[in-house]
Amino acid sequence: MCLALPARVLALLSADEAVVELGGVKKTVSMALTPEATVGDYVIVHVGHAIGLLDALEAERTLALFAEMAAAGDAAAAAAQAQAAAPGGGA
């Protein structure tokens, strides 16, 4: 019910309608709630309406943060394993 997906704005049709592309599918949605969106932007589409914009720069930053956290996690896991495997380790 609350799921919404990012879609790219392909063309603005009128003051409050646009064609967006959602995973290869084209759809006409209402832009009344995101009047600032322009062609090429990513919007979050829910029940036929764009409810907000997706900030591409922030998305990249979040992904970079994940990668950093995951690498730190992997390193911690490897260290713990090495300690457990070392003779007398983990005791």
Partner 1 sequence: MKYVDEFRDGAVARGLAAAIAAELQPDRRYSFMEFCGGHTHAIARYGVAELLPPQVRMIHGPGCPVCVLPIGRIDQAIQMALDQGAIVATYGDTMRVPASQSLSLMKAKARGADIRMVYSAADALKLARQNPQREVVFFAIGFETTTPPTALALRQAAREDLPNFSVLCCHVLTPSAITHILESAEVRQYGTVPIDGFVGPAHVSIIIGSGPYEHFAEEYRKPVVIAGFEPLDVMQAVLMLVRQVNQGRAVVENEFTRAVTREGNLAAQAAVAEVFELRERFEWRGLGEVPYSALKIRPAYARFDAELRFGLGYTPVPDHKKCECGAILRGVKRPTDCTLFGTVCTPENPMGSCMVSSEGACAAHYSYGRFRDIPVVSVPA
Q: Residue 60 and residue 58: Cα distance in Å, rounded? A: 5
9-68 positions binding partner 1, by CB under 8 A: 22-23, 30, 32-35, 42, 44, 46-49, 51-56, 58-59, 61-63, 65-67
3-state secondary structure at position 48: coil
With respect to partner 1, which residue has the nearer C-beta, 12 or 30?
Answer: 30
Site string for partner 1, 65-84 (x = CB under 8 A): xxx-xxxxxx-xx--x----
**Distances in Å between the alpha carbon of 64 and those of 5, 58, 61, 70, 76?**
21, 10, 5, 10, 19
Token pair 């090429």 in the structure block, residue: 40
Q: Where do contacts with partner 1 occur on this chain (CB under 8 A)?
A: 1-6, 8, 22-23, 30, 32-35, 42, 44, 46-49, 51-56, 58-59, 61-63, 65-67, 69-74, 76-77, 80
